[in-house]
A and B are shown apart, each in its own frame.
Chain A
Amino acid sequence: MKLSFSLEDEQFRQEVATWLQENLIGEFEKLKFRGGPGDEHMFPEERKRWEQKLAAGGWTCVGWPREYGGRGCSIEQQVIFYEEYARAGAPGRVGHIGAGLAGPTIIAFGTGAQKSKYLPGIVAGTELWCQGYSEPGAGSDLANIRTRARFDEAGARWIINGQKVWTSLAREADYCFVIARTDPGSVAHKGLGFFLVKMDQPGVEVRGIQQITGTSEFNQVFFDGAECNAGDIVGAPGDGWKVAMSLLDFERGVSTLGQQMQFQNELNEIVGIAKENGAARDPAIRQRIAKAHTELKIMRYNAMRMLSSQGSGAGSLQQEALIYKIFWATWHRDLGELALDVMGAESQILEHGPYQLSRLQALALFVRADTIYGGTNEIQRNIIAERGLGMPKERWQR
């Protein structure tokens, strides 16, 4: 056991911090602490330019292999990057779905042509992605996909019909990766395909969904005869589920670790308000702040522990990442309640109308989605019990 980063990693930390300090200025100054959860709709144009600024510094895809334009960072360095990124208050990434999900999936399963067609735009921060998984009838039961992809022999292309929902950043995205049913007679996770679909075409329509925050980060995406080139299916027709699930492991993996610094920023702001308005003198509040702090430490320690076992070749990052989702989501939801309680009656006052929430108010509302998206707490417990503990599976009929 050695609870510190190597000298080399500390130097890397310094490099990241310095770059951010020198570049998160000027027109990007106002993006500090913006564009995160609950705030993803803010400053899209400026954040697109920021993504390209990051690209110029070589920071968009730090964990990707160098041959694909990445920085080839170790997992430790990736965590350091995310930590410093959050510490500097750098904005939520409009490119995170491409850099964190689409790209790694294409690297793992894509053809040479797909790699050369799609990876450079992600690395350069010029092409943005969104994720076409959930449907009105396919939420927790993600395999219950109804969107269909039919191969048009004459045109040598796929024709896609159906509807996706809860799609973040769909209005900004250039491409969407879509799970669709390639075998019309199939059910559940069999007979699916994983498609890379261009958003700017007549067969794709995006409609915003207004959320309890008053904003519309999520969207519905309608595919009505949308076209997808024959070469833009990842894996074989019928292998879509395997590809889609591997992608979810990326989602539950290293990219969530740096969020602890963002959590720390939020907790610090809450503690600051508690000290200022006297809530910190309330023993009930003090206990909850202490609990939040110690649990954040648990997440931090556990992140380090995961990294270590990864290094030792145990390869258990994904196993432990499995239990991380429910822990951070529940913690974050509680933090939202704590924020409102610390602010007391004044928590009810909007920053300004119409329905402009302060950062902590947006947090308090947005965290309600944390225990739902990416697998609800209930689904997470099933996964932990069934995959982690080997308990009997529930019987599902369809």
Chain B
Amino acid sequence: MDFTFTEDQLLFADNVKDFLRAEVTPQSLRRSWEVETGRNPGLWQQLVDLGLSAMLVPEAQGGLGMNELDFVLLAQECGRVALAEPLVETALVATPLLSSLAPKDDRCGTLLAQLTAGKARIAVGHAANGLVCDAHIADWLLLPSGDQIHLLARDQVALIAQDSIDPCRRLFFVEWQGSDETCVASGAEGVALLAASLNRGALGAAAQMIGLAEAMITMSVQYATGRIQFGRAIGANQALKHQMANCAVKTEFAKAPLYRAAYTLSRRPSHADFAVSHAKVVAGEAALLAAKHGMQVHGAMGYTWEYDLHIFMKRAWALDKFWGHAGFHKNRLHQWLMNPNAKIGADKTFGVQA
């Protein structure tokens, strides 16, 4: 039994954290709002060069051959800086899906090689979202239709841009017509792959929400320490101190379910529904609480466009609704618990079966 990350995993996460901190700032995000695509191709190339977009691709297919547990800390760091580039969806959802399809479909193998080299980009749709993120910069799209998954080039689909409350995000409805030609998986295989994608997407959203929560707590603590009212820092008041403490507790306690979910996904993905839903629910609660109390601690200042807090709040609200909203995941927890064979005994907490 070891619930810790290896030194290598921690070191890697630390390096990525430093890189992201230097490259992705509230100022750089604000600049991206003024750019038509909202994206920075140079930054993306750097992420590709670091191997991050192909981290979960097996070495035999040109990737780093790592797994969800290796990636979860990085996803957390992406959330901490509110990274707008679609790294988490590409690395955690799209490339594993292509990896699974590559052995029997050459197009997927070729595309995977291009993605790994940074020569192509991909967007991934799912029924849980309806909307597709970053479809405008994708060369290819993986799109679901019932039990089928289709692979289409961007010129084979029509994109209807939807402006987003989070000014960093680029959302699209995609209109498309599939054919036998474009179908890369169907039937039981399609269902299983779509289910796996949902869990990976939810894990990525949960991890980012933890990073966002920590970023908002840090900002709020800093503000409460510097803002003087009644002759002292407002953070000296228990009313605010306790709110921040509650956020810290909620966020810290959401990490264990998050890492547990990453572990199960990496070992036995077909049995990860409960762990993933648990992680998504508690990470969402932590992020939304940090947004709520962070805003409260900042007072009217946090309500301004000029102050950076809303960048993080809006991302938290958005991710909470994607890859299955809280209600969806709570219902999955209920269903799992009410299953007559649910493994809920005292001896069933750990082990990949649980």
> Is A209 touching B304 in the complex (CB atoms < 8 A)?
yes
Knowing A139-B300, A285-B327, A347-B321 are in contact, say whether A144-B229 is a contact too (CB < 8 A): yes
> Is B296 touching A378 in the complex (CB atoms < 8 A)?
yes
A209 nearest in chain B by CB position: B304
Query: Roughly how many angstroms separate A382 CA and B240 CA in the complex, as a whole number?
Result: 12
Question: How many A residues, CB 8 Å from partner?
Answer: 52
| B296: chain A residues within 8 A (beta carbon) | 371-372, 376-378
> Is B163 touching A212 in the complex (CB atoms < 8 A)?
no
> Is A211 touching B305 in the complex (CB atoms < 8 A)?
yes
| A137: chain B residues within 8 A (beta carbon) | 228-229
Chain A window 377-398, contacts with chain B (Cβ cutoff 8 Å), 1 for yes, 0 for no:
1100110000000000010111
| B129: chain A residues within 8 A (beta carbon) | 345
Knowing A212-B310, A376-B296, A398-B231 are in contact, say whether A341-B162 is a contact too (CB < 8 A): no
Q: Which of A129-151 contact B (CB under 8 A)?
A: 134, 137, 139-141, 144
Knowing A212-B310, A350-B164 are in contact, say whether A344-B325 is a contact too (CB < 8 A): yes
B303 part of interface (Cβ distance < 8 Å): yes
A282 part of interface (Cβ distance < 8 Å): yes
CB distance from A337 to the nearest CB of B (A): 7
CB distance from A373 to the nearest CB of B (A): 7
CB distance from B90 to the nearest CB of A (A): 19
B119 part of interface (Cβ distance < 8 Å): no
Q: Which of A329-362 contact B (CB under 8 A)?
A: 333, 337, 340-341, 344-350, 352-357, 361
A74 part of interface (Cβ distance < 8 Å): no
> Is A211 touching B304 in the complex (CB atoms < 8 A)?
yes
> Is B327 touching A139 in the complex (CB atoms < 8 A)?
no
| A211: chain B residues within 8 A (beta carbon) | 303-305
Q: Which of B161-183 contact A (CB under 8 A)?
A: 162-167, 169, 171
> Is A210 touching B306 in the complex (CB atoms < 8 A)?
yes
CB distance from B295 to the nearest CB of A (A): 5
A315 part of interface (Cβ distance < 8 Å): no
B54 part of interface (Cβ distance < 8 Å): no
Chain B window 303-331, contacts with chain A (Cβ cutoff 8 Å), 1 for yes, 0 for no:
11110001001100110011001111011
**Residue from B165, B295, B303, B331 in contact with A348 in the complex, judged by beta carbons closer than 8 Å:** B165
Knowing A144-B229, A371-B296, A378-B240 are in contact, say whether A345-B303 is a contact too (CB < 8 A): no
Knowing A345-B321, A348-B165 are in contact, say whether A376-B295 is a contact too (CB < 8 A): no
CB distance from B20 to the nearest CB of A (A): 23
Chain A window 148-169, contacts with chain B (Cβ cutoff 8 Å), 1 for yes, 0 for no:
0000000000000000011000
CB distance from A187 to the nearest CB of B (A): 10
CB distance from A360 to the nearest CB of B (A): 11
Q: Which of B212-236 contact A (CB under 8 A)?
A: 228-232, 234
> Is A345 touching B229 in the complex (CB atoms < 8 A)?
no
B292 part of interface (Cβ distance < 8 Å): yes
Q: Which of B30-87 contact A (CB under 8 A)?
A: none
B288 part of interface (Cβ distance < 8 Å): yes
Knowing A212-B303, A350-B165 are in contact, say whether A341-B295 is a contact too (CB < 8 A): no
| A48: chain B residues within 8 A (beta carbon) | none
| A341: chain B residues within 8 A (beta carbon) | 321, 325-327
> Is B164 touching A284 in the complex (CB atoms < 8 A)?
no
Chain A window 357-375, contacts with chain B (Cβ cutoff 8 Å), 1 for yes, 0 for no:
1000100010011011100
A283 part of interface (Cβ distance < 8 Å): yes
Kindly list the 5 A-B residue pairs having the minimum CB-CB distance in the complex, ordered from nearest: A210-B305, A141-B229, A350-B163, A378-B239, A396-B230
Excluding A345-B321, A349-B163, A372-B299, 14 further A-B contacts by CB distance (< 8 Å) are A134-B300, A139-B300, A144-B229, A210-B304, A212-B303, A212-B304, A218-B300, A282-B331, A285-B327, A345-B131, A356-B163, A372-B296, A373-B300, A378-B239
Offer 30 A-B interface pairs, CB within 8 angstroms, sorted by A: A137-B229, A140-B234, A140-B299, A211-B305, A212-B304, A212-B310, A212-B313, A284-B330, A284-B331, A285-B327, A337-B288, A340-B317, A345-B130, A345-B321, A346-B130, A346-B131, A347-B321, A348-B165, A349-B162, A349-B165, A350-B164, A352-B163, A355-B163, A355-B167, A361-B165, A372-B295, A372-B296, A372-B299, A376-B299, A394-B230
